[in-house]
Amino acid sequence: MLNLLGYMLKNGVVTSKNYCPELDADLIGLPKVTNEPCIGTSCSACESICPTSAIKISEKDEKAIVTLDRGACIGCSLCTRVCTTEAIANDRNLQTASLDREGLLLSNEKPPEKVVKKGKHSMFQNSIAARVVSTGCSACDLELSACNNPIFDMERFGVHVVASPRFADVLLVTGPVPKAMHEPLKRCYEAMPEPRLVIAVGTCAISGGVHKNGYAEANGVANVLPVDAFIPGCPPHPWSIIDGIRTAMKNHL
């Protein structure tokens, strides 16, 4: 804390010049699947320790297959700590968003395919108005707020947060969307003018995260509304959120 205060007093608060820079080496990002050899089902340490069952270890043609669902991952880093071969390792890249749910499934069997959808409209290419609906613990909301601070300054990328769905082009949903929020979320979506986008911000909004299959039926926003982009993380880094929104802006249908 003192180091941080000292840094800020010395340098001031400076808006980041680089778009979506990699995380510093000592920081923890989401896990990634590498080409390092996995020991296989005789190990399965990562699968056993994962609190959200985001990892599956299997074997095919005598090769160990690691499958990681970033849409279920809460970024606890337990898997990267127990893996002795670095078949699962820390990812410092913050461009983690996907336009489809399958794009969050990482595997050493085949490289993840980047979905590139060509948009029919161009009106959101340069600017978009966003309405936020929070249904969760608010950690994702704090990172969304950070997107508007002087360091990240999301407005310079054309993303403007509005108070009313009547003025919104995109609905940013955080939290696992429990049953009590299904109807309010649908009503908010219906109040938005078309064309309109929906982005699931954070692992809870994507899959329910740690709430998945609980009594509150909080299994993510895709059970209630069509989703145009998925931003994994618990919570996602502000750069991941900004990049996810920009990816949706450039590629929406």
Shortest gap between Cβ of 115 and ligand SF4 (angstroms)? 22
Shortest gap between Cβ of 204 and ligand SF4 (angstroms)? 12
Note whether 201 and 138 are within 8 A (CB).
no
Tokens standing for residue 89: 């390792």
The count of chain residues that interact with ligand SF4, using the rule CB under 6 A, is 28
Pairing relation of β-strands 31-33 and 88-90?
A: antiparallel
Contact between 78 and ligand SF4 by CB under 6 A: the answer reads yes
Sign of CA dihedral 242, 70, 222, 213: negative
Position among 29, 71, 87, 131 found at the interface with ligand SF4 (CB under 6 A): 87
Contact between 240 and ligand SF4 by CB under 6 A: the answer reads no
Strands annotated E in the chain: 31-33, 55-60, 63-69, 88-90, 105-107, 128-134, 159-161, 170-174, 197-201, 229-231
Binding mask 184-223 for ligand SF4 (x = CB under 6 A): ----------------------------------------
Sign of CA dihedral 141, 146, 149, 155: negative
Shortest gap between Cβ of 32 and ligand SF4 (angstroms)? 10
Tokens standing for residue 33: 């699947």
The piece of 7-15, 74-82, 217-225, 243-251 that touches ligand SF4 (CB under 6 A) is 74-82
Using CB under 6 A as the criterion, which residues of the chain lie in contact with ligand SF4 when the complex forms?
A: 31, 38-39, 43-46, 49-52, 54-55, 57, 66, 68, 73-79, 82-83, 85, 87-88
